[in-house]
A and B are shown apart, each in its own frame.
Chain A
Amino acid sequence: QVQLVQSGAEVKKPGASVKLSCKVSGYSLTDLFIHWVRQAPGKGLEWIGGFDPEDGGTINAQTMQGRVIMTDDTSTEAAYMELTSVTSDDTAVYYCATVSCSSGNCYFEYWGQGTLVTVSS
């Protein structure tokens, strides 16, 4: 059973960067594709981006282009997402999730518990 454990809550000032982690257990990170989804307070789910199962590269939502850096470290079995130049609009709970695919049809199967990022001056 895959488990994803995310890092703790963060408070950042506008313009700062934040780096979140997502530690994998129960499976090897090398066999997983991790994506990130966020949810602003009282709002719906917004896909941020992740590793593409087709080529292993990263792909981001256009609205996040240029501000998101996704990496992973197989030695620590953890995935990371760094968001730069944050504003109050980036205040949200950030989830990591694994992508599973069946015949090219991909969905989010396992989810982390979420990390609250608050951006406030």
Chain B
Amino acid sequence: DIQMTQSPSSLSASVGDRVSISCRASQSIGTYLHWYQQKPGKAPKLLISASSSLQSGVPSRFSGSGSGTDFTLTITSLQPEDFATYYCQQSYSSRITFGQGTRLEIK
């Protein structure tokens, strides 16, 4: 299976900050990489598909980049509602795998 490794595992930041979350694949996956946001007690929500395609209704402060093995989710000007856990997911292999998650906390 393709291993997905996110860093950092947790991150403290303040409202208005810019943050980046990294996701690294154990082999090249092109742009078969997607990002989700999950809040406590809720189902994950798709933010970005195919590395950089922002889903409808997702604020433009979210952006994704990368290809091959290294990917980044960037959030500019953090808002209170952005504090959550973020997961990357690869679909290059039909055996889908997720990163372990990055918890974004308020400083």
Contact = CB atoms under 8 A, between A and B. Distances in A.
Interface string A32-43: 000101000000
Contacts of A52: 94
Contacts of A109: 46
A112 B98 contact: no
A111 B43 contact: yes
A117 to B, nearest CB: 15
Interface residues of A, number: 24
Given A44-B98, A59-B94, A102-B50, A107 B89 contact: yes
B96 interface: yes
Interface string A90-101: 000001010000
Interface residues of B, number: 24
Given A109-B46, A113-B43, A44 B87 contact: yes
Contact of A95 (B43, B89, B101): B43
A106 interface: yes
Interface of B: 1, 31-32, 34, 36, 38, 43-46, 49-50, 53, 87, 89, 91, 94-101
